[in-house]
Amino acid sequence: MTKRVMGRASFAHILDSLGQIQIYVQVNQLGKEEYEDFKSLDIGDIVGVRGNVFRTKKGEISIKTEEITLLAKSLRPLPEKWHGLRDTDLRYRQRHLDLIVNPEVRETFVIRSKVIQAIRRYLDERGFLEVDTPILHNTAGGASARPFITHHNTLDIDMYMRIALELHLKRLIIGGFDKVYEMGRIFRNEGMSVKHNPEFTMIELYQAYADYNDIMDLTEDMIYTVAMDVLGSAEVQYEGQTIDLTPAWKRMTMIEAVKEHTGLDFNQIDSNEDIVKALKGIGIEDHKTVTWGEALNLVFEERVEEKLIQPTFITEYPVEISPLAKKMATDPRLTYRFELFIVSRELANAFSELNDPIDQRERFIAQSRKRTAGDEEAHMMDEDFINALEIGMPPTGGLGIGVDRLIMLLTNSHSIRDIILFPTMKPRD
RNA sequence: GACCCAUUAGCUCAGUCGGUAGAGCACUUGACUUUUAAUCAAGGAGUCCGGCGUUCGAGUCGCCGAUGGGUCACCA
């Protein structure tokens, strides 16, 4: 906001969430005393203005002020008016200032709200039921991640902040809700970066009698629809690249993707010697004894992920890294799973859900072994969940989307902190 | 966790070879009845991130530390 005082008449702009308008203030409209009060206003003060609308000589629509009332006084000076607030640390810590001073920040968070609205509308229209499941868990399951631990005083037990929505939503499928989703906050006690905040928003949905192919169709249609609803276009600019979200998106298996980008054909690789040789051949030295599936995933992450700029579904993930996904009938080393990559980032993860309680128990046991071997991110055994599976879960397709990363893409934001209003910050002394 | 960069007025930033701390905006005072980052004149404003060291003398050089940012590593 600006203020231009010229003796006995002045101009200023006032601003609210809908925009700004110029006001014109004259001494012979207000009287001397009121006009002096006006001149003593500061840039951040909040005022009410009454008067008639007119157009100035230069053509700007303005208000000829008849009455101006101070509604709230600003005691601290606002940041400088044309360089604004640049200090990223201060912007995140004092988001209120950032929002006042930097209009594009306001716009980003309006888009965030619209994206979330559009996702809900899409799913509600298709008969999905939105539910709320617990955030405090007795066992942290549904993903590979280190949880935050907290304590319940009355029960005198430690509890975990959820790291995924998955296991409760599957219980609802077992309970007979055929289409459910939840959009909510997830907590992971891991490193922070431009792509990671300790708490972030995820949406997970589950559809009974669907498989991962159905979910792939839904995913691309939903993201396309959201982009059209919010931006009015399926073409998105992201850090100098043009991303086209128009379906149908590229689909390839992990084995195909690895073969295309590295020349390694994992269908021809079998023995441990083959694996070591293959990894060495493309310059990956990994001395941990890796299995076939782990090696496939390792090569994919190291050599392929970065190349996936346009929307791409990677399918058929190794069973070792997919403890909740159904094994393929044609190849038990792989699962009916896909992940969606856009601008080299994982945006979604989905599979035909494992609904065989015996197989699920074995997967959990395998995970527990990793856990005791020191892998803090391996899944915990969850007897309660297996018990639920034993009741009988229909074949189900499930999907998880990192909502923050989707919003980063749609708002061309470099850092996850730019699309979370109050990102996690280290306290200051 | 490693490396690189930054930290000077409320904000955005200069500060030369080591020699009295600077600008614009904001603020205060004055002039000005159609301005658009209004203009003009004057004024106040500092723990130069902290500590230690080198030096006659440190915002500037060295070491240690803090905070932030970036890159990488780790991580769905």
pLDDT higher than threshold 70 for residue A428: no
pLDDT higher than threshold 90 for residue A325: yes
Give the pLDDT confidence score for residue A395 in this predicted structure: 97
| A173 vs A274, higher pLDDT | A173
First to last CA, chain A: 32
Q: What average pLDDT does the structure give for chain A?
A: 91
| pLDDT confidence band for A22 (50 / 70 / 90) | very high
Separation in Å: B23 C1' and A85 CA: 18
Give the pLDDT confidence score for residue A424 in this predicted structure: 85
Give the pLDDT confidence score for residue A87 in this predicted structure: 83
Burial class (CB in 10 A: 0-12, 13-18, 19+), A366: middle
Locus of tokens 């200090």: A87
Q: Which residues contact A217 (CB under 8 A, 6 or more apart)?
A: none
Radius of gyration (C-alpha) of chain A in whole angstroms: 28
Separation in Å: B74 C1' and A414 CA: 21
Q: Using CA atoms, how far apart are residues A372 and A376, in angstroms rounded to an integer?
A: 8
- What is the pTM for the complete model shown? 0.91
Q: Which nucleotide is nearest to A301 (CA to C1')?
A: B76
CA angle (A384 as vertex; A381, A385 as ends), nearest 5: 75
Residue A65: phi and psi, rounded to 5, are: -75, 125
User: Would you give the DSSP letter of residue A193?
Assistant: B
Q: What is the pLDDT of residues A50-74, one digit of tens each?
A: 999 999 988 899 999 999 999 988 8
Chain B bases closer than 7 A to any CB of the protein:
10-13, 24-29, 31-39, 66-76
Separation in Å: B40 C1' and A65 CA: 27
Give the pLDDT confidence score for residue A93 in this predicted structure: 84
Separation in Å: B20 C1' and A125 CA: 74
Q: Using CA atoms, how far apart are residues A49 and A47, in angstroms rounded to an integer?
A: 7
Strand B and A2 CB separated by under 7 Å: yes
Q: Using CA atoms, how far apart are residues A219 and A123, in angstroms rounded to an integer?
A: 11
pLDDT higher than threshold 60 for residue A1: yes
Determine the average pLDDT of the residues in A317-340. Answer: 95
Count the neighbouring beta carbons within 10 Å of the beta carbon of residue A2. 12
Locus of tokens 């942290």: A140
- Antiparallel, parallel or unpaired: β A241-244 and A46-55: unpaired
| pLDDT confidence band for A286 (50 / 70 / 90) | low
Helices (H), A175-271: 212-231, 254-262
Strand B and A386 CB separated by under 7 Å: no
Q: What is the pLDDT of residues A364-379, one digit of tens each?
A: 999 988 888 878 888 9
A:13-42 Cβ neighbours of strand B under 7 Å: 22, 24, 26-28, 40, 42
A:159-188 Cβ neighbours of strand B under 7 Å: 188
Percentage of chain A lying above the pLDDT 70 cut? 98
Strand B and A80 CB separated by under 7 Å: yes
Q: ipTM beyond 0.85? A: no
Give the pLDDT confidence score for residue A123 in this predicted structure: 97
Separation in Å: B59 C1' and A159 CA: 51
Q: Using CA atoms, how far apart are residues A274 and A292, in angstroms rounded to an integer?
A: 9
Q: Which nucleotide is nearest to A86 (CA to C1')?
A: B12
The pair of three-digit structure tokens given for residue A181, joined into one six-digit string: 């989703």
- Antiparallel, parallel or unpaired: β A157-161 and A179-187: unpaired
Q: Which nucleotide is nearest to A402 (CA to C1')?
A: B76
Separation in Å: B16 C1' and A389 CA: 75
Q: What is the pLDDT of residues A219-241, one digit of tens each?
A: 999 999 999 999 999 999 988 88
